[in-house]
Amino acid sequence: MSSVTERFLRYVSFDTQSDDASPSCPSTGKQKLLGQAIVEEMKAMGIADAYMDENGYVYGTVPGDPELPTIGLIAHMDTAPDAPGNDIKPSIVEYNGGDIVLNEEKGIRMTQADFPNLKNHVGKHLIITDGTTLLGADDKAGIAEIMTAAEYLIQNGGRHATIRLGFTPDEEIGRGADLFNVKDFGADYAYTSDGGPIGELEYENFNAAGVKVTVHGRIIHPGSAKNKMVNSQIIAIEFHNMLPAAQRPEHTEGYEGFIYLNHMEGSVTETVLKYAIRDHDMAKFNEKKAVMEAAAAFINAKYGEGTLEIAIVDSYYNMREKIEPNMFIIDRAKAAMEAVGIVPMEVPIRGGTDGARLSYEGLPCPNLCTGGENFHGYYEFIPVEDMEKCVEMLVKILTNF
């Protein structure tokens, strides 16, 4: 078993799901357990300055040629709250085509009909779940690949850039860059290893906002409710149906943005809806916010001021504006990919990374592939061979001057 595979399997044994309902940093203390394990591993590798700060951010340095740039490599330790993240039971299967049985007892299969991307991996060894949890390749694959590349350069020497390593908590809930110490990190530029299929190279991401809609109602016994009851759930449904159906994520792709209802709970008295607004184009991003505000105004005009409250908070912006003046960073990544036999694919991120925020804080930071697919769910997988290729890519980025 390769060292990157061993590392990855060890890291996914840690439950590190973040929690957007928690105000602390990290949002869950269990993320620090993985952080401390990584610090100990880094020190054992010879990274003398490795440490974790009080907020759960892990940092370390691999000194290189002082005449070369200092390059940051960044990944996140938390996993998404979209599927269970504890008691993960990964396995490795040699994929020869067709469907994959994830869990025979429960009858869970990953079918090629549902996931045609499987056809790209015939002959590879896939790390899969047992169909009851996520895997955690997003982004423990990134950590494993960065650590393996760093270890290779420490052991083999040669001329390479100084490497600054940074592993963050809470990226999955949009807070990974909140307390990242860009100044002390001291990199000239950086890459996040937080992408998907092999070859993906990303420097465009969504502009993003979170929206909380609170609808207030009035409870009256249904037997005497006529002209008295105000059912907040019905009004919430009315509000939602005023939003453009074609802009739901299940109807969009590529550069198309969306308005995504990702949480709903309520009663007659009060209903809360939570949305994510995403668009690569800033003008269209602002239009989506305006549509939601207009729908809110209509509801309040119809049912009375204060019936519906809407709060829109921007999360991050498209990093392209900050990367375009530094396109040599993209050229370096493409050259490294090509040197190890990876075909680069420049694609827009239909999401965000820590790098988007960091780019706006003065650290240009595009995103690199890790090889993982079907993130955030039960059908997540990653090919061993693609992780190994990503390690080679990182080594080339750091040495090919």
Catalytic residue among 15, 78, 138, 392: 78
Contact partners, residue 175, CB within 8 Å, separation at least 6: 18, 25, 27, 169
Is 78 annotated in the active site? yes
The structure tokens listed for 100 are: 């994959």
Catalytic residue among 171, 380, 388, 392: 171
Q: Quick one: angle between helices 232-242 and 282-303, nearest 10?
A: 140
* 8 A C-beta contact, residue 195 and residue 171: no
* 8 A C-beta contact, residue 353 and residue 367: yes
Contact partners, residue 220, CB within 8 Å, separation at least 6: 228, 229
| 277 three-class SS | strand
d(C-alpha 58, C-alpha 20), whole Å? 20
Q: What is the DSSP letter of 69?
A: P
Q: Which residues pair with 200 in a beta bridge?
A: 345
Is 171 annotated in the active site? yes
Angle at 164 between CA 158 and CA 166, to 5 degrees: 140
d(C-alpha 369, C-alpha 197), whole Å? 6
d(C-alpha 279, C-alpha 234), whole Å? 29
Q: What is the DSSP letter of 159?
A: S
d(C-alpha 45, C-alpha 63), whole Å? 13
Task: Please identify every residue annotated as catalytic.
Answer: 78, 171
